Amino acid sequence: MERLKKLIRDIPDFPKEGIIFKDITTLLSDKRAFARAIDTLANRYIDRKIDLVVGIESRGFVIGAALAYRLGAGVILVRKPGKLPYKTHKTVYELEYGTDQLEIHEDAISPGQNVLIADDLIATGGTVKASIDLVKKLKGNIVECAFLVELEFLKGREKLNGYPVYSLLKF
């Protein structure tokens, strides 16, 4: 895991001053590291009867789709407003300044399906909290929220009302 952590590149002051952006593209492009990361995450859920993996736009699509394939699950997309073509449910969530929205197709999940939520990184937890709300609206059974990276000092997992969180690489 230390090798994987070293493959994540810090970009200071991106997208704005004061933020250290964790650039995972340098891990994704390393074939052994990418396989190791996905296999380690997937092994955790192999016996959990996951029906669907939710990928959160947009790096979450990469992690979510790879995990879904390994788990023999379907993959569904949580997207920024106006991107999904069919009827959607929307949720508004807080950003550092102002608010943003996420959407899911209203028929993406059947009640009781076992859902794993995936994203590349949990920071303050606002994005995944909004995604949890969307999955709950569709009555999906949230098994866990899985991340490649967790920025522990931001305490994002405390925002999730007890929904289980797992992250591979902690900073």
Task: Enumerate the active-site residues.
Answer: 59, 96
Q: Which of 5, 21, 44, 114 binds ligand AMP (CB under 6 A)?
A: 21
Query: Which one, 82 or 111, has the nearer CB to ligand AMP?
Result: 82
**Residue 136 to residue 127: CA distance in whole angstroms:** 14
What element of type H or E holds 75?
A: strand 74-78
Q: How far apart are CA 142 and CA 161, in angstroms?
A: 12
Look-up of token digits 């209203």: 106
Cis amide bond preceding 15, omega within 30:
yes
The reply on whether position 79 binds ligand AMP by CB under 6 A is: no
Asked if 103 interacts with ligand AMP (CB under 6 A), we say no
Interacting positions 49-68 with ligand AMP (CB under 6 A): 56, 59
* Residue 86 · residue 106 · CB < 8 Å: yes
CB of 112 to ligand AMP, least distance (A): 27
Residues 118-157 interacting with ligand AMP (rule: CB under 6 A): 119-127, 156
| Of positions 4, 7, 8, 22, contacts ligand AMP by CB under 6 A | 22
The Cα 119–Cα 145 span in angstroms is: 8
Please say which residue, 7 or 49, places its beta carbon nearer to ligand AMP.
7
Smallest distance from ligand AMP to CB 63, Å: 10
Matching residue, tokens 């990361």: 37
Can you give the binding site for ligand AMP, defined by CB under 6 A? 19-22, 56, 59, 119-127, 156
